Amino acid sequence: MTTDSRRRALIDTDPGIDDALALLLAWGSPEWTVEVVTVVAGNAPLEACARNVFRLLDLRRPLPAPLVATGAARPLARPLRTAAYHGGDGLGDLPDWPPVEPRVTSVDAPGVIVEAATRYGGSLTIVALGPLTNLALAVERDAAAIRGAGRVVAMGGAVDVPGNVTPDAEFNAHVDPEALARVLDAGVRLDLVPLDATRQVTLEPAALQSALARAPAPFADRVRRVVEYALRMDLAHGRRGMDLHDPLAVGVALDPTLVRWEPVRLAVGPGGQTRRAAGEPNARFAHVVDTPRFLSMFLERLCPAC
């Protein structure tokens, strides 16, 4: 496949262990050129999330290498809340990462998002894997440009299911509810991938092991140790494995037929609740997942071959 026949992607992310798996899936997908990665504070502070993007780039070395821009260090209207599940550094606190050279091309992620949407228009898919702060700021600058992108897919929310950080809110929505509300209000055709869908895709330890067996040892070892940090917590809570929240968002951005979509009007509560409301739909959300098809896509594409 030539670069020109591939679709273009911009990924906004806060790595994050499942963000890391989502980036590896995106970089292993032949349909896409990931042109840009923009970084937002969420699972960890902005600087740590940016460092993690470079760690992952050095580990996987996708070609062409994406531009990396940093953005919002805190939510629009409240202090940042980070997630202990991913470790203090966002990737499970491994002590032996090789040092990275930060190669940030811009510190204005919202501007970079607008620029990419303007340049690539309908051939660009924007995938947001963290709190929607950068995207909301991009919409504020040029909503028409963002509306002109081919698709905008975001992991976040809990529509008909309980939350994961409070009884009724999901992490990304809870960290920056004002940003999610702003994006929903802007008339962007948002494809939301909430916990309703992501709880249907669980990575079990044995499946991860067999996918990693096909990869070069240093890569496999690093990914296994990062994922084990989160998996340990899941298994200790009696779960079968780790839910692939952000990888599913990348999966449905690549192939929307992996899920059943429902148009919905959502109102965002002050704690990040995503409640059904009366009126015209302002998004569609993923709710029934073809789990086996997604998991085989994910496991096949996660690793470079030996």
Q: Taking Cα atoms as reference points, which of 244, 113, 127, 138 lies closest to residue 192?
A: 127
Is 129 or 195 the residue whose CB approaches Ca ion more closely?
129
- A 10 A CB-CB count for 14 gives 34
Instruction: With CA atoms as reference, report the closest residue to 29 among 7, 61, 13, 56.
Output: 7
- Binding partner of residue 196 among ligand BDR, Ca ion, none, CB cut-off 5 to 8 Å per kind: none
Q: Does 285 bind ligand BDR (CB under 6 A)?
A: no
Query: Which 94-133 positions form the footprint of ligand BDR (CB under 6 A)?
Result: 129-130
Q: Which is nearer to Ca ion, 22 or 283 (CB)?
A: 22
Cα dihedral 229, 301, 65, 127 sign: negative
Q: Check residue 16 for interaction with Ca ion (CB under 5 A).
A: yes
Convert residues 26-65 into a mask of x (bound to ligand BDR by CB under 6 A) and - (unbound): -----------------x----------------------
> Per rule CB under 6 A, is residue 18 in the interface with ligand BDR?
yes
Burial class (CB in 10 A: 0-12, 13-18, 19+), 223: buried
Nearest to 170 by CA among 180, 156, 191, 183: 156
Q: Which two tokens mark 152?
A: 């905008």
SS3 165: coil
Q: Is the peptide bond before 64 cis (omega within 30 degrees of 0)?
A: yes
* Binder of ligand BDR out of 170, 191, 196, 234 (CB under 6 A): 170
Alpha helices in 176-258 (DSSP H): 177-185, 195-198, 205-212, 217-236, 245-254
Q: Integer distance in angstroms from the first to the last C-alpha of the chain? A: 21
Nearer to Ca ion, 138 or 250 (CB): 250
Which entry of 86, 174, 237, 245 is annotated as an active-site residue? 245
The dihedral sign for the CA sequence 158, 176, 149, 107: negative
Examine residue 164 and tell whether it contacts ligand BDR (CB under 6 A): yes
Residues in binding contact with ligand BDR, number by CB under 6 A: 14
Nearest to 16 by CA among 70, 69, 55: 55
245 is catalytic: yes
What does the radius of gyration of the chain's CA atoms come to, in whole angstroms?
18
Nearest to 11 by CA among 48, 53, 46: 53
Q: Is 234 in the site for ligand BDR (CB under 6 A)?
A: no
* Binding status of residue 129 toward Ca ion by CB under 5 A: yes
**Nearest position to ligand BDR, beta carbon:** 171
The one segment of 69-77, 93-101, 165-173, 294-302 that binds ligand BDR by CB under 6 A: 165-173
Query: Can residue 245 be called a binding residue for ligand BDR (CB under 6 A)?
Result: yes
| H or E stretch covering 124 | strand 124-128
Asked whether position 171 contacts ligand BDR by CB under 6 A, the answer is yes
Least distance between ligand BDR and beta carbon 84 (Å):
10
**CB closer to Ca ion out of 19 and 115:** 19
Instruction: Out of 45, 130, 163, 241, point to the residue binding Ca ion (CB under 5 A).
Output: 130
Question: Which residues of the shown chain bind Ca ion in the complex (CB under 5 A)?
Answer: 14, 16, 19, 129-130, 246
Catalytic residues: 245
Question: Which residues of the shown chain bind ligand BDR in the complex (CB under 6 A)?
Answer: 16, 18-19, 43, 83, 129-130, 155, 164, 170-172, 245-246
